[in-house]
Amino acid sequence: MSVTSTKTQIAAASILTLFDQVRQNTTDLVAPLSGEDMMLQSMTDASPAKWHIAHTTWFFEEFILKIKVEDYTSPDDRFAFLFNSYYVQAGPRHARDKRGLISRPNVQDVLAYRSFVEDSLRSLLINSSGADYEEIADLVELGCHHEMQHQELLVTDLLHGLSYNPLMVAYKDPEPMSVSQEVPLTFTGYKGGLVEIGHAGEEFSYDCETPRHQTFIAPFELADRPVSNRDWIAFMEGGGYQDATLWLMDGWARCQKEEWDAPLYWWKQDDEWWTYTLRGAQPVNLDAPVVHVSYYEADAFARWSDMRLPTEAEWEHAADGVSIEGNFLESGTLRPQPGGGLYGDVWEWTQSPFTPYPGFKPPKGAIGEYNGKFMINQMVLRGGSCATPKEQMRQSYRTFFYPHHRWQMLGLRLAKDVSNG
């Protein structure tokens, strides 16, 4: 064993604590699932739970163990082909839309693979020191945050897969919503001007959150709560899904093609709106934030309201000094709750495209494919959701999805310009 300083030992204990906690959280998420549940893949955008737990393990193996451990031998070299996602420089990959057909290795084999990689990584951390240790620790931290992202995808992909079961099965036991009251829609004003956005400091962030830079925003107002289901029903009843003048051209084409007339997972039963959730079928809670709506729908709703979606710079400026408190994955509710603040419950669409910040440079090598290659045709969302681990959240955190996507926990908050008159 190499000799380590006290400072390095403390740092090693910290990163190991994070690693062990994240891995345990994933284990807890899949604990209620059967082998059949773990194989569900309902569309190309979604992946089976088994694939998620294997891929996050492959990430640690591929980008740390294979590089840093001399003569490292994988339990099965074929896993590199099966569980690579989109890292071209890491080698060939199994077809994304065929992940649900990988019945073997089975779940037990994948769990054994996870255990092997975990033991190998712990040993590497404990026996490393100096600059080598710092580089490894940084990569482990990245791998942990990568796995947190897949925890969110795991539960939302599972929701989509289970939604096709006519038995309306529940991932977790049904639980009634708390009694709530309608919250009036109010706004907070911001002066605007030249502001700074982007990650600052030494804490973890993704490359796409940097560099911190200045940008100009005009005076604006931002809603004090997300758009609610009650608001959305008014939009539906007001003909929002039938009025082409409210929609972007691409959005209207998608709305017509896919016959959208309500958020994903909604249906009407005995004159009441219902929705499918990870806790089974439940009546729509009128005061909870609306969820599972695309950018196109969010933009149409904002136009119908004679308002707009905020830019990501406006959202980040408004979040300055706001505590990161809200309904996240750790709460176990797995659905938006009434009375939400700026963080948690639902990711909030912005009108900003996912593009690089001024001066952005992705890291060299395959790890640089993490975000940079996706900076086209997608829109930025802010704030996190009821499926997002709280540990992920920062004021500068930006996630991104294509404008037609609905299966994630996607909602919106309204903004409006401030007249200079």
Please name each of the domains of the chain with its CATH number: 6-162 (1.20.120), 187-417 (3.90.1580.10)
The residue type found at 274 is: W
Q: What is the DSSP string of 152-164?
A: HHHHHHHHHHHTT
What's the pLDDT tens digit per position in 68-114?
999 999 999 999 999 999 899 989 999 999 999 999 999 999 999 99
- Kindly report the pTM of this predicted structure: 0.95
Average pLDDT of the chain is 94
What's the pLDDT tens digit per position in 321-345?
999 999 999 999 999 999 879 999 9
Task: State how far the Cα of 129 lies from the Cα of 131, in Å rounded to an integer.
Answer: 7
Segment 172-178 shows an average pLDDT of 84
Backbone dihedral region of 152: left (phi > 0), alpha (psi from -120 to 50 degrees) or beta? alpha
Q: What angle do CA 352, 354, 358 make, to 5 degrees?
A: 95
* 315: its two tokens: 């959202």
Q: How many CB atoms lie within 10 A of CB 409?
A: 25
